Amino acid sequence: MPNRPINVLYIDDDATLGRLVQRMLARHNYVVEHVETADAGLARAEAGGIDVIILDHDLGTASGLDVLSALSKDAASPAVIYVTASSELSIAVTALKAGAMDYVVKTVGEDFEILLRAALEHAVVKTRLTRAREQAEHEVRAARDRAVTLLAEVNHRVANSLSLVGSLVRMQANSVEDPGAKAALAETQARITAIGNLHRSLYTSDDVRAVDLAGYLRSLLEEFAQSLAGSGQMPSIRCEAEPVLAKTDKAISIGLIATELVTNALKYAYPNGQGEVRVILSREGDTVTLKVADDGIGWTGTGTIRGTGLGSKIVRAMAKSLATELRYADTGGCGTQAVMELSLAGLAPPASEAA
């Protein structure tokens, strides 16, 4: 029990007994305030500073059960010890169901004092433990909120830094004349954008531990298309995506794969520079499928790789990190369709994280 006096509110219409209880408990480090009516008791309880309430059943014009009902509406109200001269068990049961912490029968002699003191000590200890638990839970929630805010700020700063790096790469690309170097820098910028957009999605999300792949891919491809259009290319990129929640590291890999496949399609599928590239993210049962398709000259994934092959290496590495592989569907020579199937269980964060 704490060293400071325990403040007790005693609600009983019997003034004589009230004074007796005050003297009786004062010897044991309790400060007892006595009120004789239900309204006065509720008003004093609402004013605060009370550790425990001793509540009599019969208050003359009111019942202690009415007071209990009113106190139960406030979750922060003090613990209540219900007392009555009646030995009927039904009153005790009703009081305990109504929110009383303990129940004491008024008796003549020392028994009442002993039982009341025992009930008070139990109520004080239980109240202290409850409040300590609530305080600990509050501190844990506050710490979690601070951590989430800090992580969002980190993602914000990373996204801004990557955006700056992407702008520098674009400026470098605009300053070179060699077409190969210009294309390589443009691809590098697209990869930076893929990662930067992921961090942008994180700091605008309610949960920084998971990403909605549909929104992430749409944002990524829209910015990618705008970047290419600004460089003089006029791509047509269409995205159809169903909502799928994924861990952040998995989302980065998927974003990089989509970026590489779209880049290859725009570079090689349409020699005349005109055509559509489709990115489709679908979910069926426990399987999530990513498709990147075009209607160009066609590629089956076999034969000599055009370009440096860096994009293909990136795709293979990212697919391996997702415990899958990329395959090319047979389109009969009519365009290209790259397909990657993923396990939903491997993508999704645990339920406790996604909440």
Tally of CB atoms within 10 A around 76: 7
- In the numeric block, which tokens belong to residue 83? 């007392």
Inform me whether the pLDDT recorded for 54 exceeds 50: yes
> Alpha-carbon distance 306 to 271, whole Å?
13
Is the CB of residue 116 less than 8 Å from the CB of residue 83? yes
Tell me the average pLDDT across 35-59. Answer: 90
Give the tens place of pLDDT for each residue, 258-289. Answer: 988 988 888 888 877 678 899 999 999 999 99
d(CA 191, CA 56): 74
Q: What is the mean pLDDT of the chain?
A: 82
pLDDT of residue 203: 54
Helix (H, G, I), strand (E, B) or coil at 27: coil
pLDDT in tens, 106-161: 876 778 888 888 888 888 888 788 778 888 888 888 888 887 777 777 767 877 88
Whole-number Cα distances in Å, 11 to 51, 56, 170, 258, 283: 14, 6, 78, 72, 64
Residue 325 confidence (pLDDT): 92
What number of other Cβ atoms are within 10 A of residue 309's Cβ? 10
| Ordered domains of the chain (ranges, CATH) | 6-106 (3.40.50.2300), 138-354 (3.30.565.10)
Give the count of beta carbons closer than 10 Å to the beta carbon of residue 233.
13
Task: Give alpha helix (H) positions in 36-109.
Answer: 38-47, 64-71, 89-98
What is the Rg, in whole angstroms, of the alpha carbon atoms belonging to the chain?
36
Q: Convert the pLDDT of each residue in 69-86 to its tens digit.
A: 888 888 778 889 999 888
> Is the pLDDT at 227 greater than 70, yes or no?
no
Percent of the chain scored above 90 by pLDDT?
18
pLDDT 10s digits, 230-244 = 555 566 889 999 999
pLDDT of residue 128: 80
Burial letters for 324-340: b for 16+ Cβ neighbours within 10 Å, e otherwise? bebeeeeeeeebbbbeb
**How far is C-alpha 258 from the chain's CA centre?**
28
Residue 353 confidence (pLDDT): 46
Core vs surface per residue 10-31: b (16+ CB within 10 A) or e = bbbbbeebbeebbebbeeeebb
Identify which of 141-145, 170-174, 349-353 has the greatest average pLDDT: 141-145
CB neighbours of residue 137 within 10 Å: 10
Categorize the per-residue pLDDT at 314 as very low, low, confident or very high, splitting at 50, 70 and 90: confident
